Structure 1
Amino acid sequence: MKTDQERQELIQDIIVLLYQAYDSTLDDIHALLKRIDDMEDEEDLQAIQEAREDIRINGTVSWNEIKEEIRNESKKDVA
């Protein structure tokens, strides 16, 4: 993951290039970015479906079980 500074520099570089691009290139870039966004949405939906299926098959873990596990791990670290 990029730092905020790296991200801002990259965005500024892209903006400069976009202003220099032909209209047809801008259309192509827009279509590509839209396709990438759609693919990421599909991946997110797939991950949600897989998580729901896992919960259906394996059940869920209660918050009390998680807290108990954390307590047990903390005791191991202290000992």
Structure 2
Amino acid sequence: MKTEQDREEIIKAINVLLNQAYDSTLDEIFALLKRIDEEEEQDDLKAYDEAKEDIRINGTMSWEEVKKELKKEVV
């Protein structure tokens, strides 16, 4: 994950390029960004459905179990 400063720098650089782009290029970029957003939303919904199915099949975990799992992943 990027820091806020990194994000701001990237956005500024993108804005410079966008301001120099042809209108047709802007249309293509906009369409691409919308498509990416839609794909990410579909991925999120798929992950949600998979998690619900996993809970249905395997049950749920206690909060203590979740914390133990998270500690294992951090190390």
TM-score by length of 1: 0.78
CA RMSD of aligned residues (A): 1.7
Tell me the CA shift for residue 3 of structure 1: 1.0
1 CA distance for matches of 2:27 and 2:20?
A: 13
Question: 1:40-66 deviations in whole A, cap 9, x for unaligned?
Answer: 000000000000000000111244xx2
Is 1:35 paired with 2:35? yes
Summarize the alignment of residues 1-79 of structure 1 with structure 2, pairs less than 5 Å apart. Answer: 1-63=1-63, 66=64
2 CA distance for matches of 1:25 and 1:61?
A: 49
Tell me the CA shift for residue 6 of structure 1: 0.8
Q: Which runs of 4+ in 1 moved over 3 A?
A: none
| Structure number with bigger Rg | 1
2 CA distance for matches of 1:25 and 1:8?
A: 22
Q: How many residues align?
A: 67
Structure 2 unaligned runs (5+)?
Answer: 69-75
Percent identity at matched positions?
A: 64
TM-score by length of 2: 0.81
